[in-house]
Amino acid sequence: MESKFSNTDAVSALSAHDPQRFRVVVEQYQHSLFGFLGRMGFTQTDAEDIAQDVFLKVWRYRASYNPAKALVSTWLFTIARNTALSKLQSYKPAQVPLHEVELKAAVRHQPEQVLSQQQSQQTLLSAIQQLPVDDRSAIALFYIDELSVAQAADILQCSTSAFKTRLSRARNKLKTIFDELDDTQ
* CATH code, domain carrying 114: 1.10.10.10
Instruction: Give the predicted TM-score (pTM) of the model.
Output: 0.62
| Structural domain contains residue 101 | no
Digit-coded pLDDT (tens) for 115-154: 666 677 777 777 777 888 888 888 888 887 788 899 888 8
Please check whether residue 59 is in contact with residue 22, taking contact to mean a CB–CB distance below 8 angstroms. Answer: yes
Domain limits at 134? 110-185
Same-domain status, 118 and 185: yes
Residues of the chain predicted below pLDDT 70 = 1-5, 90-118, 182, 184-185
* CATH code, domain carrying 16: 1.10.1740.10
| Structural domain contains residue 85 | yes
Same-domain status, 81 and 167: no
Q: Which amino acid is at 109?
A: H
Same-domain status, 3 and 88: yes
Same-domain status, 84 and 114: no
pLDDT of the residue at 46: 86
* Residue positions counted in the chain: 185
Phi, psi for residue 78 in degrees, rounded to 5:
-65, -45
Taking the CB of residue 57, how many other CB atoms lie within 10 A of it? Answer: 15
Choosing from 92, 123, 143, the residue where a domain stops is 92
Which DSSP letter does residue 145 get? S
Exposure string over 161-177, b if 16+ CB within 10 A, otherwise e:
eebbebbeebeebbeeb
The kind and range of the H/E element at 79 are helix 72-88
pLDDT of the residue at 37: 86
Q: How many whole angstroms separate alpha carbon 134 and alpha carbon 120?
A: 23
